Amino acid sequence: MHAQVGDRLLVEGDETRTGLIIDVPQADGSPPYIVRWLSNGHVAMVSPGMFARLISPSRPAISTQADQRPFGR
C-alpha cells in the first residue's frame, strides 16, 4: 500500500473509519500515515490493516447505484 497526501483511507465494514491522509512520513508512500478521521476530526498515525483501502482524490468516496450494477449492464 502506497499513499499520497489527499488520498482517503477506508476501513471496510466500518463507515465511521474513513479518513483523509494529511501526511505521509515515508518518502516511498508506505505506512504509517497521518490520518484525520472524517467522523470526528481526530488525527492519528495509522498503519492500515488488511481490510483497509486507499481511494485517490479523483474517485468518489461513496459508490453509486451504477457502481453496484453487474458488469456489462
Domain annotation covers residue 36: yes
Domain annotation covers residue 26: yes
> Number of structural domains, the chain?
1
Q: Is the peptide bond before 31 cis (omega within 30 degrees of 0)?
A: no
pLDDT for the residue 14 = 81
Residue ranges making up the domain that contains 25: 8-55
Domain annotation covers residue 61: no
Predicted TM-score (pTM) above 0.85: no
Domain annotation covers residue 27: yes
CA distance 38 to 70: 30
Domain annotation covers residue 63: no
8 A C-beta contact, residue 34 and residue 45: yes
For the chain, 73 residues long, give each residue's pLDDT as a single digit of tens.
Answer: 899 999 999 998 887 789 999 999 999 999 999 999 999 999 999 999 999 999 998 766 555 444 433 433 3
Residue 41 CA, distance from chain mean position: 15
Domain annotation covers residue 35: yes
Secondary structure E strands in 1-73: 8-11, 18-23, 33-37, 43-46, 52-55
Domain annotation covers residue 68: no
pLDDT for the residue 52 = 94
